[in-house]
Amino acid sequence: MLELAVLLDERTRLLVQGITGHQGQFHTRAMLDYDTKVVAGVTPGKAGETVHGVPVFDSCFDAVDETGANASIMFVPAPYAKDAAVEAIEAGVKLLVVITERIPFHDTLDVVTYARAKGCRVIGPNCPGLISPGKAKAGIMPNHIFRPGDVGVISRSGTLTYEIVHAITEAGFGESACLGIGGGPGEAGAPDAEAHLRVHRGSNRAPGKADGACGRNHLPRNGNRAEQDRCVLEGADSRRGVPRRHRPVTPRIAGAELNYLFLEMNESRNPAKPLRGFDM
């Protein structure tokens, strides 16, 4: 089964950087409650301690060597985030989830460039992480709103993610995977969202469904062309005469800037066929 859950599943062995801090301790407990294999924590100078039964190491190198961790989630203050991320990448993790916000833009660029050279996938920064419902969680999402299902969710907004996921679950569907790529100007997940989307789009089976995932939800935010590029990716094949995807794609657009969006879209379209806006 090839889907977004390929990034995170029952085989993922997660280490938590910044595990001894308040946020690190709180969310480690929540990830353990979701049956995620949290095998190590890293806080320099705290080696030998434990947090919720998870051993703490001085460095990612020690943690990976001792526990076989292959993914990391970071709760490290922004001034130290770049060094922490580079250390995790050099230690050999293949998935790095950066929860921290307000990381300097050029620090993010350096980390993303280095991670790609080393074959490490970066999610974030300034993101809620990701979850494969019923399998594992590497993030800060509330556990109780998710249930295994067939809808994939990719989002730049944390709170909108929770709102939409809760609605999907309450409607009786459930999620195959949920990925928060980050909402800041330097998020690494936005350029990689196309790759995430291609992975999910390529899945042909989902749990309990012989005909694949039933849909995807994209929750955009203003700020760059990433959302437009996602729409181009979805529509390109249909314009070439290739049949449209079997699974529906549902974008959610809301907020006070909605009318401005429609004005911009109308200006770029045929004036004889304007789009219909919304009254706010």
Output the pLDDT for position 279. Answer: 41
- Which domains are delineated in the chain? 4-247 (3.40.50.720)
* pTM of model > 0.85: no
CB within 8 Å of 16: residues ≥ 6 apart = 24, 27, 28, 31, 38, 40, 41, 42, 51, 54, 72, 73, 75
Output the pLDDT for position 60. Answer: 98
Joined tokens for residue 166: 């809760």
pLDDT tens digits for 134-175?
Answer: 999 999 999 999 999 988 888 888 888 899 899 999 999 999
CA–centroid distance for 245 within its chain: 23
CB within 8 Å of 119: residues ≥ 6 apart = 94
pLDDT tens digits for 97-127?
Answer: 999 999 999 999 999 999 999 999 999 999 9
pLDDT tens digits for 22-63?
Answer: 999 999 999 999 999 999 999 999 999 999 999 999 999 999
CA distance 140 to 25: 12
Q: H helices of the chain, where?
A: 22-33, 60-67, 78-91, 105-118, 158-170, 189-201, 226-239, 258-267
pLDDT tens digits for 2-30?
Answer: 345 568 999 999 999 999 999 999 999 99
What is the greatest pairwise CA distance in the chain? Answer: 70
Share of the chain above pLDDT 70, in %: 63
